[in-house]
Amino acid sequence: MLTIENLTVCYKKQEPVLKGLSLSMETGKAHGFAGLNGAGKTTLLNAIYGFIAPTAGQIVYNNQQVKRRDVAYLEAENYFYPYMTGREYLSLFPEGKAAFDIERWQRLFALPPDEITENYSTGMRKKLALLAVLKQDKPILILDEPFNGLDLESSFLLTTILKQLQNKGTTLIVTSHIYESLTGCCNHIHYLSDGIIKRSYPQEAFHTLKEQLQSAIDQQAGQLISQLL
């Protein structure tokens, strides 16, 4: 069980981005996070990974403070060292308990292993970063916008991989701005607003999230959009 208790995060002396956020995440489940831009999704992920020290509160995994060795993180923006090949990049990451067959994984994702990453497309870069995360085989995977830039086939492939990881007992924390991607792989979706979780939706209530968001947009912006268009 991954438990976030009363988590508050402030950047320097500014307003807190996360304001006493609390949440429990069951092991082997996928938790999606949605919310407006700037709602604090990435800050929450950074705090779980340990990039940011929380101002208050704590994150506990299996009754202990979460350690970075338990977590692998796919950042939203992926940067690769100039003139590095895909194979070199992957070989730098530590292997988990299971043996990671670079060749077979790269074939599955249609990535040329000995090509320089500068020659990769945006989607290929995302896939390479994803493989690095999978290679580490950690019990908690944090995926910030994993579907961005992926082609249709790769999106389905990723969804299948994420489901199989859940079956293996990996806890997944996913953010996405694409509704279908999030609902396709998550067991719970948490809606973040103003630094707290406004609502949590279990799988059977995902349609409620869509309806609520759509009706809110229609009410607040429908008239303005019709005027602008």
Partner 1 sequence: MEKNKINTRFLRFRIGQMGKFFREIPLPYLAVLLMMAGAVFYVLHSFLESPAGRTICGGALMAGVCFVHLRRKDYHFICMADERAWRVFFADYLLFSTPFLLLLLWRGGWLVAMGVVAGYAGVSLIRQPFRQVAKGFPVPAFIPFRAFEMRTLFRRNGGLLVVSYLGAFAGLLLPYASFAPLWFCVVFVTGGFRDCESIALLNAYEMGTKRFLHYKIRLNAGLYSLAAMPPCLIYTLIRPGDWRLALGFFVLAVLNIVLFIVSKYALYEPGKKIVSGQMSAGLSLMGILVPFLAPVTLFLLIRYYLMARRNLTPYLYAYN
Residues that bind partner 1 (CB under 8 A): 50-51, 53, 67-69, 73, 75, 77-84, 88-89, 91-94, 115-116, 118-119, 129, 132
Whole-angstrom distance, CA of residue 104 vs CA of residue 8:
42
Q: Rounded to the nearest whole angstrom, what is the least distance from the CB of residue 99 to partner 1 in the complex?
A: 17
What DSSP string describes 124-155? HHHHHHHHHHHHH--SEEEEESTTTT--HHHH
In the complex with partner 1, which residue's Cβ is closer, 80 or 179? Answer: 80
In the complex with partner 1, which residue's Cβ is closer, 102 or 196? Answer: 102
Q: Rounded to the nearest whole angstrom, what is the least distance from the CB of residue 138 to partner 1 in the complex?
A: 11
Q: Which two tokens stand for residue 154?
A: 């790769």
In the complex with partner 1, which residue's Cβ is closer, 68 or 198? Answer: 68
In the complex with partner 1, which residue's Cβ is closer, 87 or 199? Answer: 87
In the complex with partner 1, which residue's Cβ is closer, 38 or 82? Answer: 82
Whole-angstrom distance, CA of residue 128 vs CA of residue 155:
14
Whole-angstrom distance, CA of residue 85 vs CA of residue 118:
9
Q: Rounded to the nearest whole angstrom, what is the least distance from the CB of residue 176 to partner 1 in the complex?
A: 19
Q: Rounded to the nearest whole angstrom, what is the least distance from the CB of residue 50 to partner 1 in the complex?
A: 4
HSE toward the beta carbon, residue 220, CA cutoff 13 A = 6
Q: Rounded to the nearest whole angstrom, what is the least distance from the CB of residue 94 to partner 1 in the complex?
A: 6
Whole-angstrom distance, CA of residue 18 vs CA of residue 128:
31
What DSSP string describes 107-118? HHTT--TTSBGG
CA torsion 41-47-50-51 (nearest 10°) is: 60
In the complex with partner 1, which residue's Cβ is closer, 94 or 202? Answer: 94
Q: Rounded to the nearest whole angstrom, what is the least distance from the CB of residue 139 to partner 1 in the complex?
A: 15
Exposure string (b/e) for 20-44, b if CB count within 10 Å is 16 or more? ebebebeeebbbbbbbeeebbbbbb
